[in-house]
């Protein structure tokens, strides 16, 4: 689920991101694909500072919360070949 948040943040910002630090993560329940065909991700408090982004995220489906996390992401310094 952390990878899902990383990829969604990268897509949202149009910048490839890497996890720099996870300050807290709580796995609250498992995702059963037979019951939860889709999940939602809510990202709040996206604060930018020197190419790093502090993010609070929640992964959920309807009223079921699967994970909560606070993490620091940084821009990926690797450049793609042109």
pLDDT of residue 49: 85
- Among 47, 50, 55, which Cα is nearest to 7's? 55
Indicate if the pLDDT at residue 80 is higher than 60.
Answer: no
Q: What pTM, to 2 d.p., does this model score?
A: 0.81
pLDDT in tens, 30-71: 999 999 999 999 998 788 888 899 999 999 999 899 999 999
Read off the pLDDT of each residue in 20-32 and give the average, rounded to a whole number.
Answer: 94
- The residue ranges of every structural domain in the chain are 2-71
Query: Which residue(s) pair with 24 in the sheet?
Result: 70
Q: Cα–Cα distances in Å, from 39 out to 42, 47, 71?
A: 10, 24, 20
């Amino acid at each position: 689920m952390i990878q899902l948040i990383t990829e969604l943040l990268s897509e949202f910002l149009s910048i490839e991101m890497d996890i720099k630090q996870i300050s807290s993560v709580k796995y609250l329940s498992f995702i059963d694909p037979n019951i939860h065909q889709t999940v939602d991700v809510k990202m709040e408090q996206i604060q930018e500072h020197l190419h790093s982004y502090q993010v609070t995220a929640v992964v959920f489906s309807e009223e079921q919360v699967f994970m909560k996390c606070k993490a620091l992401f940084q821009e990926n310094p690797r450049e793609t070949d042109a």
